[in-house]
Amino acid sequence: MISGIGKGITAASIGKLISARGLKVTMQKCDPYLNMDAGTLNPSEHGEVFVTKDGGETDLDLGHYERFIDTELTRKSSTMSGKIYSKVLSDERKGMYLGKTIQIIPHITNEIMNQIIASGEGSDVHIAEVGGTVGDYEAMAWIEAIRQMKRRVGEDNILYAHVVYVPYLAVSKEFKTKPAQNSVRDLREAGIQPDILCVRSDEPINAEAFEKMSLYCDVDKDAIVALPNSKSVYEVPLRMEEAGLGNYICKFIGLNCKKPDLKDWKLLVDRIKQPKSSVSVGVVAKYMSNEDTYLSVFEALRSAGWHHSLDINIVWIDSEKLIGDEFEFAGLDGILVPGGFGSRGLEGKIWAARYARQNKVPYLGLCLGMQVAVIEFAREVLNDPSANSSEIDPDTKNPVIHIMPDQIGVDLGGSMRLGNYKAKLNKKSRSFLAYGKGSIIERHRHRYEFNNDYLVQLEAAGLVIAATSPDGKLVEIVEHSNHPFFVASQFHPEFKSRPNKPHPLFRDFVGAIKFAQGSQIKHEQKKTVSRDN
Ligand code: GLN
């Protein structure tokens, strides 16, 4: 009906209800835009690029899916018009259509159905979320394809869920269901009668609005679930379950399943709601306009906070505005530098890493956040303030971060290290302690690497190489010892973090903050005691 009302969370929550019943769920985002993947989209416009284990650069909704159903998805879980058209056009060039006229219906719609079916292979239930809104010009082929899907898989095997929004008019003190009715009408015009309605609203809707929706939209009252704003998105599956939606869906598609096990999830939500003390973490970044840009980073931070019964107050620090003043980090309990591309704001991030190292403030660096930590330290060790990454300064005398010789010349789209890679950990490192094992697999999305020409020198000066690729050639984690917590990884741990299982590096980063605070409190108490004495 309108964008931004939480289709992704709604879809992920339905996935949770089904996976909690012991069934295997896969999920997929279908985006009507013409890109080939989300990799080239501007994050400040479109939010985070979520990287799958097989290196797919996808829409941030896949992050919601993975966090809710706790399953690692693949690039097949993200498709868009660009991917569909390019497949159809390349098949046409190969002569696979045998001289036929290629048309939106049936060729594009068939390819959409093929990609949806392929993405669901091996699962009991597949959930496909169509992006955009009903009536969008570019979404039409998608809506038509999901309509036809009913014929393809049989009407007992498919269920249509529509997410609507019911506004509240303060002047007349009433909920307005008309826009929702209109969007259901548009959907019916396209040949789809929704089986369930997920009704978003700012406040809980009243019985009258409920009745109206059921009557005018022709949807069972049992199949309408009210989803007023909640404190945490993780409450949504519980709300749906309370409303009986899980059982309704299972009955509707004839799923034979167990009783839902949502114990862990309930504990999570209880933990989220408990009042806690809070700590402040500065996120030093350049994309400041949109919270979604670092969605998985924020979720990983928050879940580490819940684990330690702490609220994380995320403080945005605009790296472009940093001028190298100590006061710029006043009041922060920890500093995090997330991933990024290009030179804008880089000096500010380098300064943040230096401040954290020298002032013993817990630091977590993610991808670019690792590279700036290396540059920072190298500048001091080499006594060369111009040491840099060759991404930023191709002519620097000391490219401590560089492109691997075998990657030079590959075009931008193809030269990234993407998705899962193994790493082995140094047993004496802080990271080894966090993971509790010597071998890990993490997701990557970067082009530049630690330059091994500087390894011996930086290590001798105190940089801890905490993890490398199994062959030892690529540096994966650097640390500083003699510091409460200074860990920076070349990969993106945030993608593997879960709300009820925070990633070990995030968990221990926040743990170190908590510990530092505890000792500070003890220290202050001691001071008061000694003063009282
Ligand atoms: N720009 C850096 C690189 O390409 C870091 C990328 C990132 O932070 N994801 O290597």
CATH number for the domain including 31?
3.40.50.300
Backbone angles phi, psi at 286, to 5 degrees: -110, -25
Confidence at residue 288, expressed as pLDDT on a 0 to 100 scale: 72
**Residues 259 and 348 both lie in one domain:** no
**Residues 256 and 110 both lie in one domain:** yes
**Residues 241 and 363 both lie in one domain:** no
* Res. 404: pLDDT tops 90: no
Tokens coding 135? 């009536």
**Residues 245 and 375 both lie in one domain:** no
The CATH number given to whatever domain includes residue 511 is 3.40.50.880
How many domains does the chain divide into? 2
**Domain of residue 332, residue span:** 275-519
**Residues 285 and 255 both lie in one domain:** no
Q: What percent of the chain has pLDDT over 90?
A: 86
**Residues 365 and 259 both lie in one domain:** no
Residue type for 207, please? Answer: A
Is 201 domain-assigned?
no
Q: What are the pLDDT digits (tens) for 295-306?
A: 999 999 999 999
**Residues 250 and 304 both lie in one domain:** no
Is 163 domain-assigned?
no
Is 527 domain-assigned?
no
Average pLDDT over residues 394-422: 81
* Res. 515: pLDDT tops 80: yes
**Residues 315 and 388 both lie in one domain:** yes
Per the prediction, the chain carries an average pLDDT of 93
Asked about 492 being catalytic, the answer comes back as yes
The catalytic position among 367, 376, 391, 476 is 367
For residue 532, name the pLDDT band (cuts at 50, 70, 90): very low
Asked about 367 being catalytic, the answer comes back as yes
Confidence at residue 409, expressed as pLDDT on a 0 to 100 scale: 55
**Residues 14 and 110 both lie in one domain:** yes
Could you tell me which of 136, 135, 1, 119 has the C-alpha nearest to residue 62?
A: 119
Is 262 domain-assigned?
yes
d(CA 52, CA 443): 7
**Residues 417 and 473 both lie in one domain:** yes
**Looking at 212, 240, 268, which one is the last position of a domain?**
268
Is 310 domain-assigned?
yes
**Residues 342 and 490 both lie in one domain:** yes
d(CA 505, CA 501): 11
> Which of 51, 445, 475, 491 to mutate to test ligand 1, by most ligand atoms within 8 A of the CB atom?
445
- Do 488 and 477 meet the contact criterion of CB atoms below 8 Å apart? yes
E strand or H helix that includes residue 296: helix 295-307
Distance 512 CA to ligand 1 centre (A): 26
**Looking at 268, 298, 322, which one is the last position of a domain?**
268
DSSP string, 192-209: ---SEEEEEESS---HHH
Beta bridge partners of residue 318, listed in sequence order: 285
Largest CA distance in the chain: 96
- Decide: 494 in ligand 1 pocket, CB within 6 A: no
Distance 8 CA to ligand 1 centre (A): 27
Is 177 domain-assigned?
no
Confidence at residue 529, expressed as pLDDT on a 0 to 100 scale: 47
**Residues 264 and 316 both lie in one domain:** no
Asked about 198 being catalytic, the answer comes back as no
